Chain A
């Protein structure tokens, strides 16, 4: 469905995305990365707003830029807030559907049914400027799906929403994605997790990982992690830790604290705990490296930025 081959996008001397190669089949995907990582540029390339400086972009097997056939099959909901003041959601969505090549009557019908679908039926005739951020997000989403695209692309769709609005919008998008393809860019991992989507992690314009959540976990397992230990007898406990096959290196960062480098932090933490109990050593703190998805993401960001543990 989406294919990028050695794609680089330059804005003058600034790199938007850097030598990205990725194949995404039909389905739901989360594009994950911190602010400024190149997510919006990636989406711009996929949705035909931008041309690659180097490389090849294909969506549904065709170049998306200046290609009406591809654009007709894409729905895009950008990150920027809708600042259209006087228009109502009904007028706005009808306008966008008309631009997608529908008659005025069909556009109005689709606008009404889609606004109903996203829960904006009652607010459909109120000016957008009087709606809450969550309602405007729904109006944007309605504009993106009302022409019935095959691929829905959402850029930070849950940004600035309260938890209730976020939960409702996640449910909406998840329901929609059951029958179509979805690409969601976000800097918050739990949002992507909530959508039960595959992952592509982008950092500094580079795609650093892609696959299912499990595949990315497996990938991360090959990366070094650490266990931090604060104890009353750090030297003795460090000796014991060195005896564990999972330990790769030990260093002291204070009088009572040491850190063990490992690729299996949880297992090593268990072993150190058991050793401390058997030796009667007081352990004040025993923290394995975070292997939650948030932790993985944070770790990838740290590695990318060259931050040593």
Chain B
């Protein structure tokens, strides 16, 4: 038999200071490169134009620019909700299924920390990609001047977009690792049941949703609290905005930690890897 080296050669400077973080960034970069295809770019362009088109149609129907409050409600439904949800569904949901279909899962799974890097890197790519599309859509909508005093919405809505992407991408990572072959359908189910149903139940369960935090922040940013109907006040949280932001970040960390733990422990029989 042949001789054997006992340890891999690694010259000084070849290892990054934070190898786990470097691997996550490498995956994110690779996933974003994968997204730079004509069909994906066309979808992104639709995501950018869609909110403006709807707002313009609404303004045309009213034959005037939209008042700030009405514009904010429409913009919230279109950007942090619709565009972010749809963007995340197509980027994070197939995180594992896509790798299995491409035959690349096994290449990644046999790397040290590869599974974790794959999930977190794909999450990062989904957040950056969807966030960029949603923020571009927001900017375009405000640039058209279709909402009166619209520029005052830029800061608050940019925060809502970022939190929506961070929190919901982490939420959709769960179906991506639990039912990879049906992750898209499962993610739609999670969006409807968790975000839109549980998020509207005034009980402990809605504390676990990103929706509650976004609704609360929207109400705070728009200063609607005092004018809000009593029954609607049940759907928002009393804690300050900083607590809402911290809650979304905490939810994202918890969801991602669970997803990583599941993925690290998952096994895919060879027959599934094609």
Bound pair: A and B? yes
A169 beta carbon closer than 8 Å to chain B: no
- Pick the contact of B112 from A11, A40, A71 — CB < 8 Å? A71
Q: Which residues 10-32 of A have a CB within 8 angstroms of B?
A: 11, 16, 25-28
Give the number of chain A interface residues (Cβ < 8 Å): 56
Q: Which residue of A lies closest to B103 (CB)?
A: A80
| A16/B5 contact (C-beta < 8 A), A49-B109, A78-B107, A99-B108 known | no
Bits for B1-14, please: 1 = Cβ < 8 Å to A, else 0: 11111111111011
B19 touches A26 (CB 8 A): no
A194 beta carbon closer than 8 Å to chain B: no
Of A144-152, A231-239, A291-299, the stretch lying at the interface with chain B is A144-152
CA distance A87 to B33 in the complex (A): 8
- Pick the contact of A49 from B33, B112, B268, B274 — CB < 8 Å? B268
A118 beta carbon closer than 8 Å to chain B: no
Q: Which residues 1-38 of B have a CB within 8 angstroms of A?
A: 1-11, 13-16, 19, 22-23, 26-27, 30, 33-34, 37
- Pick the contact of A27 from B4, B107, B270 — CB < 8 Å? B4
Of A102-110, A251-259, A269-277, the stretch lying at the interface with chain B is A102-110
Q: Which residues 102-129 of B have a CB within 8 angstroms of A?
A: 102-104, 106-114, 117
A78 touches B103 (CB 8 A): yes
Give the number of chain B interface residues (Cβ < 8 Å): 47
B269 beta carbon closer than 8 Å to chain A: yes
CA distance A151 to B232 in the complex (A): 63
Q: Which residues 23-71 of A have a CB within 8 angstroms of B?
A: 25-28, 40-41, 44, 47-51, 66, 68-69, 71
B5 touches A80 (CB 8 A): no
CB distance from B98 to the nearest CB of A (A): 11
A68 touches B112 (CB 8 A): yes
Bits for A54-98, please: 1 = Cβ < 8 Å to B, else 0: 000000000000101101111010101111101100010001101
B67 beta carbon closer than 8 Å to chain A: no
Chain A residues whose C-beta falls within 8 Å of the C-beta of B102 in the assembled complex = 83-84
Chain B residues whose C-beta falls within 8 Å of the C-beta of A96 in the assembled complex = 107-108, 111
Supply 20 A–B pairs (Cβ within 8 Å), ascending by A.
A26-B1, A27-B4, A28-B1, A47-B110, A49-B109, A66-B265, A78-B273, A83-B104, A84-B104, A98-B22, A99-B23, A101-B19, A103-B13, A103-B15, A104-B26, A106-B11, A106-B14, A150-B4, A150-B6, A181-B4
